[in-house]
Chains A and B, each alone.
Chain A
Amino acid sequence: MEYEKLPMEVPNEVPETGFVDPLGANSAGVLGGRGGGGGGGGLISNLGPSRTVQRLRKGLASDSYAQAVAAEWDSYKSSVMQRFASTGTITVTTGLDILSKEPRGHKKSVTAVHLEQLEDTEKEAREGSKIISQQEYITRLRELNDEIAHAWLNNERVSALRLTIKVAKLLMDTSVPQFYPTLFVLVTDVMDTVGNLVWDRIKRKSEVDDCDNLVALLPAEFTADDVRPEAKETCSNWFYKIGCIRELLPRIYLEIAILRCIYFLEKDPPVASIRRLNLMLRGIADPLASAYAHLYLARRGQVLFPSDSGDSDAPNSYGTFAGFSQMPVPSAISQNRDYLINGLNDYLFLFRRVLQGEFDKKISASGIDRRLYVTLVEPVFEWIMKCILKGANQEEMAFIVHAFGEPEPLTPRRRSGNGGQDNQEPVSVLVHYMLKQLPSAYIASEALNILKLVKSSKDISLSQHLNYKLLGEKLCECSPPRENQLTILNEVWKVVMTYASLPEYITVADVFVDYILQYCTEVELAVLLKDILKHLRKSDASDVVLMSLESIIFKLVTHYTDITKVLNLVHVVDVLDVFYGEVRLSVFKRILASVTRGNQKISDPVTRHIIFEQGRVLHDSLDSLSSEDDRRQITRLVARFVQLVDLGSDLEQHLAFLVDCRAAFGNMDLLRETVVHVSNRLSISALQMAGGSTDKETVEFVKACVTFNGITIPSITSIIPRIHLFLETAESAFMNGLLSHTEDLIKTALKCLQDASVGDGLKPKEFEESVCSFLLKLISFLTLVPGHGELGPFYILRGILTLLDTRTRLVTGRGRLRVLCGVVCMLAAVREGKSFHITLNEQVDNNDVLYFEDSSYEEELAEITAIVVDMLVTCLDQDYDKAQTGYQYLDACNALVTAFRVDGDLQILCTGLLQKASALMIDTDAYLQATAWYVQRRGIT
């Protein structure tokens, strides 16, 4: 007799004419595709959906909704993997050795086999079980994955199935709980792939006949009526095959994996099947395995319901399962939530037992504690809650909150027996993820109810303070009804203030500061701050606490734009005192930054004092090891603060403050500059207040200012700001009529230059430029400054010229020329005799007035002019740069022509200059042409 295929087996109808099953080929690409590197961390990602898998998912059979759901999971999955990534070893019992190829004893009685397995776990201690690393485990899984692909490709679908079952069996082993989430992800990847392969295959079967001829493509939204009977036959065969798996857990996983295929057989969503699977999960006693099985059902179940299956009219009776004690779910709840709610509720029954410590012996045997064990289940709660609440309407949300919040009517029917669960408070981890998923608008409107819920959930699965924190965050997003706002705060605080753990307390307080700022008044804020302070005094603040405190302060500072307001709040200053170490610095920086941002004058003495102290702390924190950035940032902040301080008319006090600043912030150049600027500002405002003429008191004050500057400036390291500040101070002294001071200051500045070494930290070019501009500025100032009684009217100018002569390298080339041209112009201006500056102070006369009609003055002026012109000409000859020389000639020519009436020698000089310039330059040069034209206009040919 010929070999006949049993109908049970999946017939391989693929004709053997070299035809390669496109799905099979694809799957080989998928599963066989080992990533290139294959080392280290790449292993996990290799097992994950490769690009080929993605393509497969998008392939001919899977519709877009399934893809969307899969994509959502993909992103969540990697977060789970990261969360529970660990590198340890796993003890693999020989009974579960996944690589043993021979099918295990079918002939033995099942009980015997089962007991053998039990025995194995006992044996393991004695006979030395295999200990492999997680990496190896993952590698093994990948090998298995390959084997499945290979089998599928070779049309050995039954052996592919057998291998898949083996992989699913791995999930029965919960002996290394920390690895379980990772294992789950890896195994379900395989399950998903197999599920998709089956789906694709049946779909293909429905579209082509035995001889590979296309019959008809299935429409995108097909129903069971469109499917060919051959495909239906194959499909139900798969369900039968899987239904015959002995072990409960693999059977459930595989059925879930292929559950989507039920659409080939039935029109309506498989409500009854899902419900049955849900109930079957009750048979899994291991809390971890059960939790993740629920997760898988929730995940794959999503695909089964159209996203908006709000009120489908599928039968609501569940056949023989109608008698099961389950939560009475109102008909308003859509079916895709119904099973999740029931499943979760069932699971909670088991989970509560974990919380009560019934599994402690087992948990500690695996080397972790209950708290850690519970966190392993968290992703399950998170995902299921997400599924339950996705797109839920008001009514559904109300039910869900009620269902999990007040569990009395919902627990499964209790019968007599041990292990009674009298503790029926809501499980806090569940409450947490429920809060997380509920829209904040809903939470706000139901705040009081939810508050009750949070209050009553205080088991170890999740610390209660996290729930309060989350609640606070949600309430900040959306405002609760006005009349409840204060009640909520009071209710929360009643519980929170009893917390013994400071970090927990402060975390909640942090969030609720936000809440108070948004919805309450300063009174509540003061109360809260006082309470915080009380807690802080009770125990030492750790770093975590300080971080939260910092965030509180930051919120206050951001909320009130005016820093004075914040600092004047009761208790804020006391809270600030709590800080120490790095956090203190960062808080102070934040406060100073907010001052800078606020850009408002600081006149409040308390605020000024506090911030000053904070600045000092920051300043003192800087040392040789601090980074340049840090130093610069702090200096800027402090300097800006000093600028913003305003003491109104109390100038003396202000100067005293500046003295304090100088003393306190000794390490900051920028700050000294700021202080000098401010002090100059003070002396000018003194003059203004005195109304333009200085009385004795003002003079004294200004003298003080100038002296202050005179002491301060020399301590500034870099020379350029130093000389500029000298000049600035000289100007302010001059305006206040302090001539001798002015002269001294200018002399000091020049002396500085005299002693300065070229460069001074700057590039030579820049340095020269700065010096040059300083000199020009000084020269222009000299038009106002009167001469000295004994040393003559131009002794400062002479000093400058001497400086230029002695320190030839200080200013060279065109810069030198510019300075000399400036001098020429200045002399011309002085000769002009008109005081073109309007001075504030009428008590100061300039040279013009001092030496009016004095012939020796005229002579001296002529003499010095001659010297300068001479220098100018000498200077011109010194330069060798051709391109520059032309311009220099023109510069000089322009200056001379502008300053003097040109005749005689000068005319020859000028024309000579112009000719030399035109010889060196192109005729079309604009400067040349303009100069030539100008010279012509002045009547020189």
Chain B
Amino acid sequence: MLTSLTVFGDRVFEDHVQFPLRASYGGPLLFASITALQVFLTCASRSLDLKLFRWIGVSCFCLQEFWDGSSRVVYYKAEYAKMSVVIKLNRVDRVYRPPDVIGGTIIVDTPSSVSHQGVRLTAVGHIMLQLSPRQVGVFEALYKSVKPIELMHKVVDIQAPGKLPRGETEIPFAISLETPKGGKLFESFHGAYINIQYLLTAELIRGYLQKQMSSMIEFMVEERNEQIPRGLIESTTVNFYITHDTQKHMISPVLRSGGFKITGRVVTQCSLSEYVTGELTVEHSCVPISSIDLQLLRVESVAASDRTATETSEIQSTQVADGDVCRGLAVPIYMVLPRLLTCPTLATGAFSLEFELSIVVTFEVGLSRHALLYDPNATKMVSANETLPLRLMRI
């Protein structure tokens, strides 16, 4: 039985206020300090009624419990039973394809009944563009920020003004994802300079003086699979060959004199849900090969006023051959496409998003350490590469 409780400090529900808490609980005293979101209680009694915390407005659970000599010391992690709003979507992966309906619930948890002036749900989609400082210069990058392009903005009022009871309230909602007329909902994408992001915000509208409660969650938008006959894709296999003659950069003289030839083919048009496939064969190479890697490159271009800033960055590198592989034996090319980091190839007026596949062959040339340290091109000299455009599609 809780006999008395004194809380020093005036506002229990204030963030960032540290205050002592003293409770007389059937006899032994209980000291607590609440820091931000946590309450640590040192409790000398054998059993601690959680009602205590409910009474002071914190919900808690045991963090650690041990005996210290004669008394039990309990550290409770307590959280404010402050009002919380959480959005829960009905899909675990949060992926929606227009015209799917985003369904879910808004969960409002309040320590006391609360009145509001409506629950509002906002779905927004933006393309955030940024200029690469390397391409346009630092200042330009800072000042000439490109305005975000809004893809969607939808506001739905879920509930009329009213009162929410104490405890947890679940408010179901459904909001349809429609392709805007004449436009297109691009897929969610997080790149270095281009970000396509969709957010869902739930808001509990309250009076001017009261704190606004809201919560935000990101959801993914994917395009629906296009129905393209399989035969069309198979035909987009590209044959490539890498020799000492095809290299645009300078290569080590040893490589040039000995020569090498690596051939292969890659399916350059591939579905995002599948893999990059193909094969390559080392026909001959006088210098032993140390590694063959596939690099997935992302090419982001942003148009700024009159020029286009293009930036290529590597997303993923996958090794297909380790060491000096057998000559004449076809090695499969197989690369998993990283989710989130890839999306269908797209090009609009303001920006374009493309992908490339680069096959990098590194040779085992005994370079001196000196050369590696002082010649910046040294590493490049012992490798050969071939870059192929890759068309990613949602099929």
Q: Chain A residues in contact with chain B, CB under 8 A?
A: 1-2, 4, 6-8, 11, 16-18, 109-112, 114-115, 118-119, 122-123, 172, 229-230, 233, 239-240, 243-244, 246-249, 251, 276, 279-280, 282-286, 289, 319-321, 323-325, 346, 349-350, 353, 412-419
Contacts and interface: CB of A to CB of B under 8 A. Distances in A.
B92 A233 contact: yes
Given A110-B295, A349-B329, 18 more contacts: A4-B217, A6-B340, A7-B94, A8-B338, A8-B340, A111-B360, A115-B379, A240-B338, A240-B339, A246-B316, A251-B318, A276-B332, A280-B320, A325-B330, A412-B328, A414-B328, A417-B282, A417-B327
Contacts of B322: 172, 247-249, 283-286, 289
A249 B318 CA distance: 11
B113 interface: no
Contacts of A414: 328
26 contacts: A7-B220, A8-B338, A8-B340, A11-B92, A111-B360, A114-B290, A115-B362, A115-B382, A122-B369, A123-B369, A239-B336, A244-B316, A276-B332, A279-B331, A279-B332, A285-B289, A285-B321, A285-B324, A289-B322, A319-B277, A323-B279, A415-B327, A416-B283, A417-B283, A418-B284, A419-B326
Contacts of A286: 322-323
A276 to B, nearest CB: 6
A707 B383 CA distance: 104
Nearest to B95: A7
Nearest to B335: A243
A855 to B, nearest CB: 118
Nearest to B322: A248
B329 A346 contact: yes
A349 B326 CA distance: 8
Interface residues of B, number: 59
A615 B280 CA distance: 75
Contacts of A282: 321, 325-326, 329-332
Contacts of A349: 326, 329
A413 B331 contact: no
A419 B284 CA distance: 9
Contacts of B267: 320
B246 to A, nearest CB: 18
Contact of A244 (B278, B324, B336, B369): B336
A240 B336 contact: yes
B218 A283 contact: no
Contacts of B135: none
Contacts of B335: 243
Contacts of A243: 275, 335-336
B326 A350 contact: yes
B61 A17 contact: yes
Nearest to A18: B62
Contacts of B13: none
Contacts of A324: 279, 330, 332
B95 to A, nearest CB: 8
A414 B379 CA distance: 32
A230 B332 contact: no
B314 interface: yes
B291 A114 contact: yes
B383 A285 contact: no
B216 A2 contact: yes
Contacts of B218: 4
A255 B293 CA distance: 18
A321 B372 CA distance: 39
B94 A285 contact: no
Contacts of A285: 289, 321-326
A229 B332 CA distance: 31
A239 B326 CA distance: 28
Interface centre among B292, B316, B334 (most CB of A within 10 A): B334
Contacts, number: 154
A267 B323 CA distance: 36
Contacts of B283: 415-417
B105 interface: no
Nearest to B283: A417
A327 B216 CA distance: 56
A119 B369 contact: yes
B215 interface: yes
B281 interface: yes
A838 B92 CA distance: 114
B93 interface: yes
Contacts of A112: 379
Contacts of B320: 248, 280, 283
A285 B327 CA distance: 10
Contact of B293 (A8, A17, A111): A111
A244 B215 CA distance: 33
Tell me what chain B mostly uses at the interface: helix, strand, loop, or mixed: strand
Contacts of B387: none
A584 B62 CA distance: 82
A395 to B, nearest CB: 29
B331 A417 contact: no
B364 interface: yes
A59 to B, nearest CB: 26
Q: What 10 A-B pairs come out closest when comparing CB atoms?
A: A285-B323, A243-B336, A283-B321, A110-B317, A417-B327, A248-B319, A320-B277, A279-B332, A417-B284, A415-B328
A114 B332 contact: no
Contacts of A240: 336, 338-339
Interface in B189-225: 215-218, 220
Nearest to B364: A118
A416 B329 contact: no
B339 A246 contact: no
Given A7-B220, A415-B283, A321 B93 contact: no
B61 A18 contact: yes
B327 A418 contact: yes
Contacts of B329: 282, 346, 349, 412
Nearest to B77: A16
Interface string B22-60: 000000000000000000000000000000000000000
Nearest to A326: B330
A350 B328 CA distance: 11
Nearest to B380: A111
A349 B318 CA distance: 24
Contacts of B369: 119, 122-123
A740 B96 CA distance: 128
A286 B323 CA distance: 7
Interface centre among B316, B326, B369 (most CB of A within 10 A): B326
A258 to B, nearest CB: 14
Nearest to B316: A244
A282 B335 CA distance: 15
Contacts of B331: 279-280, 282-283
Contacts of A415: 281, 283, 327-328
A319 B270 CA distance: 13
B252 to A, nearest CB: 13
Given A16-B61, A115-B372, A280 B334 contact: yes
Interface string B178-197: 00000000000000000000
A396 to B, nearest CB: 26
A419 B327 CA distance: 8
Contacts of A353: 326
A419 B282 CA distance: 12
A247 B217 contact: no
Nearest to A282: B331
Contacts of B217: 2, 4
Interface string B255-290: 000000000000100000001011101111000011
Contacts of A417: 282-284, 327-328
A229 B92 CA distance: 9
A625 to B, nearest CB: 60
A902 B12 CA distance: 132
A750 to B, nearest CB: 95
Contacts of A2: 215-217
A16 B79 CA distance: 13
Nearest to B190: A6
A409 B280 CA distance: 22
